[in-house]
A and B are shown apart, each in its own frame.
Chain A
């Protein structure tokens, strides 16, 4: 009896192994199969269409998996689960140095790839290229140009705290005339920590500094706080929260925040050029562009532009060549370029790509970048833990009105001092 049982168990185990093996075998000999995991659900459809075209041209198959959409369900979590299961994708996304450290052992050196020469924003470490920039993105204060001209405000003047304060005050007094509910569409709810503790936080880190300047970041990481900079930043946060719609600010989600701007219920939007498809879907036709953040009293003439995420190749992958080809084809084939710019609406990070995205805000980012008026994205030099679990609740407290500005400054200072 015992023998029979043992035999049965072995057979069950073997059968499942055979079935599991069957799926993978198809890949290696003829067309290879690569798995790509990325974090933009909004381009999932376009990417899958492109993968189909790529399959027809090369005979290789690319399986696209998209994870993401809120700060509680992220790509990083899926990668951890897949890594533990021994099912790591061949191409996946990292967002910066903290992610790089997480996967350091399996990220392939791509220094000798053809696309490296065409871009200036690849992810590099110690002189070696590791990450393929997915796109260029940027954010500032998106404004409704029609509304500002109606209110007699020149967007070019908006580049410091004082200019924003008087502009917000003026717009606030003209609410009824302009038909708006609030001046700025800002979100600081529990799901929207990425707007406050990632994007807005970056104003403190890089606004007004030369591109790539890490001085403020390094100081904060050592627990040293520049109180003048933090005080001015707190003024800016207070200003944004004060003139925001309180319902959207405290409990609204992404749709509510972008919706208020797209339906002309707010004159400003604190988001980046990735909202273009959402605004298009809402049939908004007014003119819009980006203005710099006013987080400082001195003028800061530039917006935050960078490549936010990078494709990296898993060095343990069996199909490294196919994965490399997939990335190269995206840059050097007509279909690949068409996917990046026209289908996915992204700003290309490659100089050989001559197409331009159609979205107004994407064009605005390109314009700022062309003029060289850009500040870097430094928020990814802090861990996700620090941003999402330490800073986000502080912003939320301030937005709810549970704490005042002095307490906000005190808690922020304490949080940084806890870093060393």
Chain B
């Protein structure tokens, strides 16, 4: 066995466990899922449960369902808000913790910690804050009296519930994105700033003309991560709002904050239409791929190489 062969063997040996897992839990289910989306699969022991091809019926039914269309709209809205908020907050935090600040490492850890808490737990914690803590605050402080009025409960209206989802999403994810910005900002050569200072540039000019172009690469990554994360939001959605409160869309009462993942889940497991849920997941996948490819290619154009 020559050296080349030995290296090859070791390479495959180390790769095998990961490859095996990847094929078993990602690749095979992915193609099975696409297959099932064209059938009447229901994973139950119904009397008439033979597997049949139904063509594009699942896709057709999905697009005729107001709740699916509504989910698309509300998810897009949520994604836009969430991407903007997370990135704005993360960038500000990153600038703060890279400045000459005392205890900046402690702040970095502090901002990052929410990301380590599971989304379900986070959702229930914030549900308690919105439903109990905030109204209680209104009872204690007379000026904030309006908070204790049940009409002003954050989670009782669709608009404010989406805002609540964005707040929790930002709280959870901004620390993580901040870390990426911090790494990028610290990678900008100090000499550029010194040169700019000698040329008489002020802080804002330095930020606009040096920091932003130099961290453009990080923008590509963070925008991609936040976009995908927001689009796929599920756990916080389930635990914080459970899809509610209700809304009326095209004359049909439905769940007002049911994001796409939750809509797919409800289609599969509450409506008992697993194949149709799978079809929606395929649509979801295609849309997500298209949007993220567009986003990455736009961002790539703005990157600069030194």
Contacts and interface: CB of A to CB of B under 8 A. Distances in A.
B62 to A, nearest CB: 14
A8 B248 contact: no
B5 interface: yes
Contacts of A56: none
A72 interface: yes
B161 to A, nearest CB: 9
Give the bracket for the number of chain A residues in contact with chain B. 35 or more
A317 interface: no
A72 B16 CA distance: 38
A12 B16 contact: yes
B271 A4 contact: no
Interface centre among B9, B44, B153, B268 (most CB of A within 10 A): B44
Contacts of B242: 70-72, 189-191
A101 B46 contact: yes
Given A4-B9, A393-B253, A394-B253, A252 B245 contact: no
B170 interface: no
B271 A389 contact: yes
Contacts of A12: 16-17, 20
Contacts of B270: 384-385, 388-389
Interface stretch (A74-82, A169-177, A228-236, A360-368): A74-82
A247 interface: yes
Contact of A393 (B43, B155, B254, B269): B254
A104 B46 contact: yes
B156 A105 contact: no
Interface string B218-247: 000000000000000000001001111111
Given A80-B274, A397-B253, A190 B12 contact: no
Give the bracket for the number of chain B residues in contact with chain A. 35 or more
A83 B44 contact: yes
A400 B43 contact: no
Interface in B172-210: none
B295 interface: no
Given A12-B20, A251-B131, A393-B254, A83 B245 contact: no
Contacts of B245: 189-190, 250, 396, 400
Contacts of B9: 1, 4
B272 interface: yes
Interface centre among A76, A103, A250 (most CB of B within 10 A): A250
A389 B266 contact: yes
Nearest to B132: A256
A84 B254 contact: no
A385 B20 contact: no
Interface in A379-403: 383-385, 388-390, 392-394, 396-397, 400, 402-403
A296 to B, nearest CB: 25
A245 B47 CA distance: 46
Contacts of B155: 251
Interface string B1-31: 0000100110011001100100000000000
Interface string A225-268: 00000000000000000000111011110001000000000000
Interface in B239-297: 241-248, 253-255, 266, 268-272, 274
Given A8-B12, A102-B45, 15 more contacts: A1-B9, A103-B45, A105-B45, A190-B241, A190-B245, A191-B244, A247-B135, A247-B150, A250-B150, A250-B156, A250-B245, A251-B155, A384-B270, A389-B255, A400-B157
Interface of B: 5, 8-9, 12-13, 16-17, 20, 43-47, 49, 67, 130-131, 135, 150-151, 153, 155-157, 238, 241-248, 253-255, 266, 268-272, 274
8 contacts: A5-B12, A8-B12, A102-B45, A105-B46, A245-B150, A251-B131, A251-B156, A397-B253
